[in-house]
Copies of this chain bind each other. A is one copy, B any other.
Amino acid sequence: MNEEKKHEEAFLEVAQHLDEETLFIVSQTFKALSDPTRIRILSLLCSGEHSVNEIAETLNLSQSSVSHQLRFLKNLRLVKYRRAGTTLFYSEDDNHVMNLLKQAIEHAVHH
C-alpha cells in the first residue's frame, strides 16, 4: 500500500468517528466564513491591518456592526489587534483559516 492510500484510510477513520469537540471546532470555523460581512472583513484584512473605522468606511458598514463581527472573529482567534492610541488595528491571526477562505474565493471566481 502506498503512502497516499494510507493517508486516505487514516482520514476516513477520523472522519467517521468525529468526536463532539472536533465537530464543534470545524462547524464553528466554517460558520465564521459563512457570513458575507465577515467574508468581506477578512478579505480586506488580507491586504494588511486596518482600524475598525477604516473597515466600516471601506466596506460601507456601521461601526457597531463591524465591532460586533470583529469580536466574533476575535473569539475564534481568526483576527488579532494592536492598539495605537484610541485606534485599534485589526489583522489576520489564522493562516490556515485564511487559506480556506482564499481557496473558496478563487474557486468561486474561476467558475
Residues of A within 8 A of B (CB): 11-12, 14-16, 18, 22-31, 33-36, 39-40, 43-44, 46-47, 96, 99-109
Cβ contact within 8 Å between A108 and B43 = no
Copies of this protein in the assembly total 2
> In the complex the two chains form, what is the Cα distance from A44 to B18 in whole Å?
10
> In the complex the two chains form, what is the Cα distance from A39 to B107 in whole Å?
20
Cβ contact within 8 Å between A100 and B100 = yes
Cβ contact within 8 Å between A12 and B104 = no
> In the complex the two chains form, what is the Cα distance from A28 to B30 in whole Å?
10
| Top 4 A-B residue pairs of the complex, sorted by shortest distance between their CB atoms | A15-B43, A31-B34, A30-B33, A30-B34
Please, which residues of chain B bring their CB within 8 A of the CB of A102? 11, 15
Cβ contact within 8 Å between B34 and A18 = no
Please, which residues of chain B bring their CB within 8 A of the CB of A15? 43-44, 46-47, 102, 105
Please, which residues of chain B bring their CB within 8 A of the CB of A26? 33, 39, 101, 104-105, 108
Cβ contact within 8 Å between B18 and A43 = yes
